[in-house]
Chains A and B, each alone.
Chain A
């Protein structure tokens, strides 16, 4: 399964959430992401499935570009096998940028 970073970086600049401390935001549109939870499912007392939960954020100076790039990301993530939930707005701390976020889930079958 392609990583979320690789999928998003193929569309627009991508960073781990929180790693732009002290920096200007990139011009235009960019993505950030964060793996906020993980869990395992067991079969016969052995871990059989690894589930990871991510927040993927899209920030842009242009709301129209944001929609275009986020939709491209959603399509690419689903094609790569990720489960993607509908987008919601997210507050930004930079007044000239708007943001949206999606929850993305990956399920990986482990060798039992």
Chain B
């Protein structure tokens, strides 16, 4: 199962700026992760949903994830829970010797456009939080 973390280039610097301004870094981090997750999950449903013969794989989709903290690092599960029936998603993305990889499925979670979208969303959340903290 993949995990989204803060991944845009300037997240450490913006995080420090927000903290110095007295902004709520924890809440902003969680908002950034939740919004990123919400933005890309529909694309995952669209790319993988057409391979839904038994419902097992889509039943393992992490579409209602919560942010999890490990010390100072936050992440949110995204994609499929492999242990709960999502292993077929691995076969779809990476293929098997009997089945070619599905590029759309892979790109829905790991593609360049999705990464760019996540970066933009997360940066936007942090910039808006800094603006609020400066008022």
Contacts and interface: CB of A to CB of B under 8 A. Distances in A.
Interface of A: 15-23, 25, 30, 32, 34, 36, 55, 57, 59, 90-94, 101
Q: Which 4 A-B pairs have the closest CB atoms?
A: A18-B100, A20-B97, A17-B95, A91-B90
Contacts of A22: 98
Contact of B101 (A15, A18, A94): A18
Interface of B: 82, 87, 90-91, 94-101, 103, 106
Interface of A is mostly: loop
B91 A34 contact: no
B98 A93 contact: yes
B97 A15 contact: yes
A59 B61 CA distance: 27
Contacts of B82: 91
Contact of B95 (A23, A30, A34, A94): A34
A101 B94 contact: yes
Given A57-B94, A90-B90, 5 more contacts: A16-B100, A17-B97, A32-B95, A57-B97, A91-B91
